[in-house]
Amino acid sequence: MNQLDKNIAMNLKRIRKSRKMSLDMLAEKTGVSKSMLGQIERGESNPTVATIAKIVDGIRVPFEELIYPKTESVVIIDNEKLPIYKSQEGAYQVRSIFPYDRHRNFEVYETKIEPGEGCESFLGDDGSCEYIMVVQGVLTLETDEGTYEVAANHAIKLDASNCHSYYNRGIQKLILNIFVAYDPIGIQK
């Protein structure tokens, strides 16, 4: 059974049970036989697009809800265990805490910059806006419009399409949480 068939099997069963429906009731609503629905839920059948269309029409759910894996309602993330998205040895490292996905128009990064070091913005010109929260240290943000000093427990908002760089001119490690919000029309990912 491939991943798509697994997703359909798990999601169909989850949706049916959440609505307190029997296979008979589901068959009646969808026009798909009870035996076929049972095979789909058990992962014993590879449903055709026409069968999937009957199911989503019958139970009135978006196609995506049936084919994509169900996301957990609570997810705890250990930033230190996340892979490094971008780095320069001894200067900085960036981890993607919440990467972009189709259900939300934002990403969240953690950026750590060593004293005396800096890094260029790592985002493209795509209609995004950055919300930068300084967790530790003092951020020196250089843009085409000027230089800004932002201390710990403060935040700054900027148009990410403007060239900018992050610098740590302090004596302790600089830690930033960068929230990137995308204009839904401008998303090119």
Listed residue (78, 91, 84) closest to 120, CA to CA = 91
CB 130 within 8 A of CB 110: no
pTM higher than 0.85, yes or no?
no
Q: What are phi and psi of 56, to 5 degrees?
A: -65, -35
Domains of the chain: 3-67 (1.10.260.40), 79-182 (2.60.120.10)
Q: Which amino acid is at 21?
A: M
Give the model confidence (pLDDT) of 109-146 as tens digits.
999 999 999 999 876 666 689 999 999 999 999 998 99
Residues 81-109 pLDDT 10s: 888 888 999 999 999 998 877 667 889 99
Whole-angstrom distance, CA of residue 81 vs CA of residue 64: 30
Distance CA 67, CA 113 (A): 40
The pLDDT of residue 187 is above 50: no
Phi/psi for 81 (5° steps) reads -95, -5
